[in-house]
Amino acid sequence: MTKKNDALQYHAAGRRGKIEVVSSKPCLTSLDLSLAYTPGVAEPCLAIQERPSDAYLYTAKGNLVAVVSNGTAVLGLGNIGALAGKPVMEGKGVLFKRFADVDVFDLEVKSEHPDDVIKVVQLLEPTFGGINLEDIKAPECFYIEEELKKTMNIPVFHDDQHGTAIICSAALINALHLVGKRIGEVRIVVNGAGAAGIACANLALSLGAAPGNLCMCDTKGVIYRGRSEGMNPYKERLALDTELRTLEEAMLGADVFIGVSAKGAVTPQMVRGMAKDPIIMAMANPDPEITPEEALSVRSDVIMATGRSDYPNQVNNVLGFPFIFRGALDVRASTINEEMKKAAVEALAALAREECPDSVCRAYGNESFSFGRNYIIPKPFDPRALLRVAPAVARAAMESGVARTPIEDMDRYVEWLETLQGRAKETMRAIINKAKCDPRRIVFPEGDHEKILKAAHHLVEEGIAKPILIGNRKKVEAKIAELGLELSVPIVDPEESELTETYAQELYRLRQRKGITLSEAQRIVRRKSRNHFGSMMVHMGDADALLGGIDTHYPDTIRPALEVIGRQPQLSGVHGMYMMVFKKGIYFMADTTVEIEPTAEELAETALLAAEKVRLLDIVPRIAMLSFANFGSVHHALTQKVKRAVEIVKERDPELEIDGEMQADTAVTPELLSNYTFTTLTGAANILIFPDLNSGNICYKLLHRLGGAEAIGPLLMGMKKPVHVLQRGDDVATIVNMAAIAVVDAQSM
């Protein structure tokens, strides 16, 4: 469960809140300034004045959604007000951006009067490409959405209504498929007549449910014709001509229960009275109307969905709204209509019936998913959801006549959508998930460092690795308590450990011909060097990998590892590589840290080791051997060395994609690379091998500091066992990423 302090710290740390505005155009020179603002900005203004649709060409309007709320029905918190609801609206913006690359401004309106909300949104229509209404209480939310859809020419979508209904309906379609029932024949009970409940009922009817078979209930019981208490026009439309009066009566013989009401609203006795193969969607948050354990205790044939991530079949709105808006925006839809919503339902339902990829399974602890009673809805982190739902919504908008800029080539559109997913971050997530499949023991020599302890806590919580902390036991335990961490991991104190004398004897054996006496070995292991002690743990098999350097100089970490663990005997030395994580991709750069002036043979060795490392991370290597010239354009000793290195690599690994010598821009730019039709690279390189330490070190540090790349490394290559080095400025997230890579390394040993 999420802890209060962790949640508050998440929102308060660093830049306050969860969002920022970032310029998408450069503004570095006087020319940039004159184009961004006066006088250049007048040109697009005049163009838009002449043709208003050009706003989609010259401004961010076409990818900008307003998340609008007055805070009257925030999550499970109720009417907490517009200001208190702002963290939720910011969070909605984060999800829009993360899952569909849609930009968001959150607008909190300080009024409970629906006409005020309507007027505010109407006046802001020139700014936005779409409106996402959020956390507005019923029945006002129905009136607000209806009026805005009548008067505005951009999509308006109340996610609490339609988002829940869409995901719920996708699950319903698949559940009915599994039990062999038709939606037009089943009896459906909906409990909760607020925004989500009424939307679920309406969409079920739109999908073919029989009006006479759908029974709505609220806190007063069944909504029947002629009832006066607690009614409104929206409930009236769903009133049933029936003698049923209570939820318990309605549930008797029902095939489907849809709950968006309150904890405990459904009893095991009610479940017992349902029809064969009952379908229960208990979506009250945070606690469902009935838990799966309670339902299954009385019926083994029940199919259940809830709103919670710790149970199968989570009805999560994030499977809907980012992708629905993505599709609507991309065809400049004037509205989000019933056809578009039904298209989203069908796309999600079909996706759950597809074979689930390994990447999704790894994201959930390597759990296997296949279409069935415990998997009727795709998982929120399934990257295919964007690629299925957005095109389906866009196509439905075109077919229903509300798309103003139809997509001509849907296949190319899907390819474009793939580029929005931020493959770099997805790659890192895949590495973490691979680590979680088989966590290994990672020893941290700086076990009392605050960042190490926080990273260790995360590694344990996420099941990525099994940390071992080296340090003074009392100091480490005191630091853990000071940080308020619940961290139970091995703490090894060299001054009291029973391993110390054994390690000293082994270090003496390894280094006695290198000038070390037994007494010096004892002093090094016991007091002088925790890096030596950590390296001995890996060498002796008491740990699987070492990760150090957060508070020491680079040589002080790598030297003990070389002395104790050593390099692989068939290699000339060890090599270093950085993983450079950009928003749209990952590049691997070697050798950036070890070899100062490598020979052709050493360059080839670096390339082969880099390819091996990248393959471990489930990435297909494409290697460019860099120089200052392209493919023999300059005959020089330095270019000839690189050319010879390429030849050596091709001799040793003929299947490996590698070419050179080439310039850096040629290596990473497909348009430039395509000029050389003879190259063996099938696309832009993702591994760059530098000709010397000077160029490699300078390049990666500039990219890290000025290019906005996250530098993960250095990753040492060629050691007998995994050893990686942290940098003093590394944050907790980087330490976690490095640990995941170390685990994946160890898995291959």
741 annotated ligand-binding residue: no
Residue 486 annotated as binding site: no
* 3-class state of residue 530 by DSSP: helix
285 is in an annotated binding site: yes
613 is catalytic: no
Amino acid at 90: E
Q: Is 78 annotated as a binding residue?
A: yes
Alpha-carbon dihedral sign for residues 228, 229, 230, 235: negative
- Given the residues 61, 92, 137, 434, select the one marked as catalytic: 92
Instruction: Provide the token pair at 689.
Output: 């091998």
Phi-psi region of 679 (alpha: psi -120 to 50; beta: other; left: phi over 0): beta
Cα 590 from chain centroid (whole Å): 27
Q: Token pair 């996402």 is at which residue?
A: 132
Question: Is 737 marked as binding a ligand?
Answer: no
- Confirm whether residue 63 is marked as ligand binding: no
Q: Do the annotations mark residue 712 as ligand-binding?
A: no
616 is known to lie in a ligand binding site: no
DSSP state of 709: P
- Distance between CA 103 and CA 124 in Å, rounded? 16
For the beta sheet containing 188-191, the strands, ordered from the edge strand earlier in sequence to the opposite edge, are: 221-222, 214-218, 188-191, 256-259, 279-282, 303-306
Residue 657: both structure tokens together: 């994609």
Q: Where are the alpha helices (DSSP H) in 230-365?
A: 233-236, 247-251, 268-272, 292-296, 321-330, 338-353, 358-363
Could you tell me where the DSSP H helices lie in 74-194? 86-100, 114-123, 140-151, 159-179
Residue pair 194/202 in contact (Cβ under 8 Å)? The answer is: no
Is 81 labelled as part of a ligand binding site? yes
Give the three-state DSSP class for 576: strand
Distance of alpha carbon 40 from its chain centroid, rounded?
38
The answer to whether the CB of 267 falls within 8 A of the CB of 286 is no
Helix H or strand E segment including 69: strand 64-69
Beta strands in 650-732 (DSSP E): 657-662, 687-689, 710-717, 723-725
Is 101 annotated to bind ligand?
no
Among 539, 506, 504, CA closest to 524: 504
How far is the C-alpha of 363 from the C-alpha of 378, rounded, in Å?
13
Start-to-end C-alpha separation, the chain: 35
Q: Which residues are catalytic?
A: 92
Annotated binding site for NADP(+): 74-81
**Would you list which residues are annotated within the binding site?**
74-81, 134-135, 160, 285
Binding-site positions for a divalent metal cation read 134-135, 160, 285
